[in-house]
A and B are shown apart, each in its own frame.
Chain A
Amino acid sequence: MQCIITALKAESDPFIQYLGLKRDKAFNFPYFINNDIGIALIGVGVGRKNIRARIHKFFRSFDDTVIQFINIGVAGGKKNQTRIGQLFLINKIIDDSTNQTYYPDILIDHPLIENSITTVQRGVYDGGGQYDSLVDMEASEIFSVCSKIVPIHNIAIIKLVSDHMETHESEFDHDMISSLLMGKMDKITYFIDKYKLLGRINGPILSKTDMDWITHNKEQYLLTVTQVNQLMNTVKSYRLHNSSISLPEINAKRPMTKVDQKNIFRAIREKLET
């Protein structure tokens, strides 16, 4: 599942429309989803305050699913370096208040221009002379929160320049932001689509069915913790050699003695190894 994270309604509206996302009332904050394409969107509002709680709530609601987080939103750009409407993939995030730096892994071959961004606490309206490149109010917190729950390569930050740090936040024009994002929708969705591939690489070796098989046999044959660990490794080896063959059914009697139990365990492993 891919989860787009936005701060403003003006940022989420174009995605809701373009990707056919439907409002889901599972959470008491903006949450939209299209299960057919595996994309959700959560709104976190401007600034840091809601980011952690909302991301965690969303994340906890998806068991056993690889989640990719993509923060898409507007940023201030420097007048002499950027154009309004220009789109960037972020390769470095500096948190202005803690000085902590984050580096998203950029593995996908993408057509976007890359840039760094500084996340600030308050809006910047003086042209942003003191900052090296882009400025926003959420990226560092989003990256920091997401990087504790998913691998770094499953977090991406995309920013569109909406102003040159001379416009007050209250003056932001909803329609202007939405239409700038809509104008870049092809590029953004191309990235999102390609990015999906990364989420598929290197998932768990064992499926839920394999894990259920282990649990069932553990209970049935009273396996010890050590035996379960050994069995897990044997099952992984089996899975690496037989990607699509089901695990064999074990039809032994429930053990009555320790010797019985050891023999059954050995027989299970032998069955998997042959």
Chain B
Amino acid sequence: MKNLKPNFSHIYVEKDVVGYPLTDLALSKFSSSSIVMIDHYKDLFNRPGQDFQVQKLSMKLILAKKKEPYLYPASNIIQDYDTPNVFYNTPILNCIYNCDYCYLQGMYNSGNLVVFVNEDDMMDAIDREVSDPRDPSRPTVVSISYNTDLLAMENILPLSRRWINYIDGKRDTILEIRTKSALFGAIKDIEPSENVILSWTLSPEPICAKYESTAPPLKSRVNAIKSALDSGWQVRLCFDPIILIDDWFEIYSLFLKRLFQEINGSHLRDVTLGVFRMNKDYFNRIRKRETRSDIYFSDYAIENGIVVVDSEKRRSSMETLVNILTEFVPKDKILVWKK
């Protein structure tokens, strides 16, 4: 909106992070922004009375130091990865995009972004975990783009690049970078790494337009994926969340057919699939905040504290989509959340 300040018009800097390389980089990128010194990011990010959606119209950047824990066990909301050693970390809190179905709106009080500049501490934590894994026979997988879209920030702060450089060549460790961005070009010059999975979330164009309107359109994401595959990267496609709108079957089947005319399914590492689901507290909080998205006013079931499409609908829709997908991707490469 024209009457509002551009994103990152203000940078809030924790006193403790002055002098960190990432702090200096961020400040040099936004040299005309107002700088406000703060004691602790939570004084700003966690305060009550903020309006997540209003703040998303003019997001601010908060530079902070992450304190322990640096690594979290993955929740049961994400797919199984065939290893118990699955974790996520949070180099950034919040996302530059604002998808309707995103749980971050219910998780955080603020629409602003926090970047933790002490990435070395987070990397050390991974090294420690890998040296003593839960199951030594399986690799350790860390999702570094869990509460954000890391690659979407690459032109602002080259964090994905730094994480790829860190992980490359390490044994039994895999980083997943999940994204909706089209910014593969920003890391294209890096040699593809065996330790990295680039995961793109894709939805049919009508879903993108209605529920992911701030993320790049489908076409740009597909081009980025093609480019990553051509360069030799391991790519995962995430059809997640599947939004079961009225004519979902027609929309998704057409979408998958067209998509796999452009992308060779056998070149993919795997694909994941899951219906819309969300922690009940986040869901209720988003509803209370007068969200404008109709997603939050449909009927759902609640299973173990998770708001989810009811099991019958979920089972049949997943089965249907898996059937379509198997035309293009080997079945053992299709991971489904709670079949």
Which residues of chain A have a CB within 8 Å of any CB of chain B? 91-92, 101, 103, 105-109, 114, 116, 147-148, 150-153, 194, 197-198, 201-205, 233-234, 236-237, 240-241
**Complex Cα distance A203/B49, Å?**
14
Offer 5 A-B interface pairs, CB within 8 angstroms, sorted by A.
A103-B12, A147-B48, A201-B57, A202-B54, A237-B294
Contact A103 B5 (CB under 8 A): no
A202 CA / B48 CA spacing, docked (Å): 17
- CB atoms of A116 and B36 under 8 A apart: yes
Chain B residue with Cβ nearest A204:
B290
B310 CB → nearest A CB, Å: 15
**Complex contacts, B53 vs chain A, CB 8 Å:** 201-202
- Judging by beta carbons under 8 Å apart, are A152 and B34 in contact? no
Report chain A residues within 8 Å CB of B58: 107
Measured in the bound complex, the distance between the Cα atoms of B5 and A105 in whole Å is 11
The answer, among A91, A152, A233, A234, for a CB contact under 8 Å with B10, is: A91
Verify A91–B34 contact, CB threshold 8 A. yes
* Total number of residue pairs linking A and B with CB closer than 8 Å: 81
Please state if A194 and B5 are interface contacts (CB–CB under 8 Å). no
Q: Are A153 and B44 in contact (CB under 8 A)?
A: no
A237 touches B297 (CB 8 A): yes
Kindly identify which residue among B3, B36, B296 contacts A92, using a CB–CB cutoff of 8 Å.
B36
Measured between beta carbons, the chain B residues less than 8 angstroms from A150 are 49
- Known contacts A107-B4, A108-B3, A108-B5; decide if A205 and B290 are in contact (CB<8 Å): yes
Give the chain B neighbours of A204 by CB distance below 8 A. Answer: 290
B54 contacts A107, CB within 8 Å? Answer: yes
Do A240 and B54 touch across chains, with their CB atoms under 8 A apart? no
Name the CB-closest residue of B to A230.
B299
Across the interface, name the chain A residue whose C-beta is closest to B52: A202
Which size bracket describes the interface of B in this complex? Answer: 20 to 34
- CB atoms of B43 and A147 under 8 A apart: no
Assess the A151–B54 pair: CB atoms within 8 A. yes
With a cutoff of 8 Å between Cβ atoms, the chain A residues found around residue B50 in the complex are 105, 151-153
A81 CB, nearest partner CB in chain B, Å:
16
Q: Is B24 an interface residue (CB 8 A)?
A: no
Chain B stretch 72-90: residues in CB contact (< 8 A) with chain A? none
Given contacts A106-B9, A194-B3, A233-B287, contact A240 B49 (CB under 8 A): no
Residue-wise interface mask of B (277-318) relative to A, using a CB-CB cutoff of 8 A (1 in contact, 0 not): 000000000010010111011100000000000000000000
Contact pick for B44, options A103, A107, A197, A237, CB 8 Å: A103
Chain B positions near chain A (C-beta within 8 angstroms) = 1-6, 9-10, 12, 34, 36-39, 43-44, 47-51, 53-55, 57-58, 287, 290, 292-294, 296-298
Known A148-B49, A197-B3: A103·B38 in contact at CB below 8 Å: yes
CA distance A116 to B36 in the complex (A): 8
* Contact partner, A240, options B36, B47, B297, Cβ 8 Å: B297
Contacts of A233 in B (CB 8 A): 287, 296-297
A205-B292 Cα distance, complex, nearest whole Å: 8
User: Would you call B4 and A101 a contact (CB within 8 A)?
Assistant: no
Going nearest first, the 9 A-B pairs with the smallest beta carbon separation are: A237-B297, A107-B58, A152-B49, A233-B297, A151-B51, A147-B49, A109-B5, A236-B297, A240-B294
Nearest B residue to A198, CB-CB: B54
Contact assessment for B292 and A240 in the assembled complex, using a CB-CB cutoff below 8 Å: yes
- Residue numbers in A under 8 Å from B298 (CB-CB): 237
CA distance A116 to B296 in the complex (A): 40
- The one of A148, A153, A194 that contacts B55, using a Cβ cutoff of 8 Å: A153
Bound Cα distance A153, B2 (Å): 17
CA distance A107 to B39 in the complex (A): 22
Provide the bound-state CA to CA distance between A147 and B6, in Å: 24
Complex-state Cα separation, A233 to B307, whole angstroms: 15
Known A-B contacts A103-B12, A151-B49, A153-B54; A234 and B297 likewise in contact (beta carbons under 8 Å): yes
Q: Are A109 and B4 in contact (CB under 8 A)?
A: yes
Distance between A91 CB and nearest chain B CB, rounded to angstroms: 5
Known contacts A105-B55, A202-B51, then 10 further A-B pairs from the complex at CB < 8 Å, ordered by chain A residue: A103-B12, A103-B36, A107-B55, A107-B57, A151-B49, A201-B54, A204-B290, A240-B292, A240-B294, A240-B297
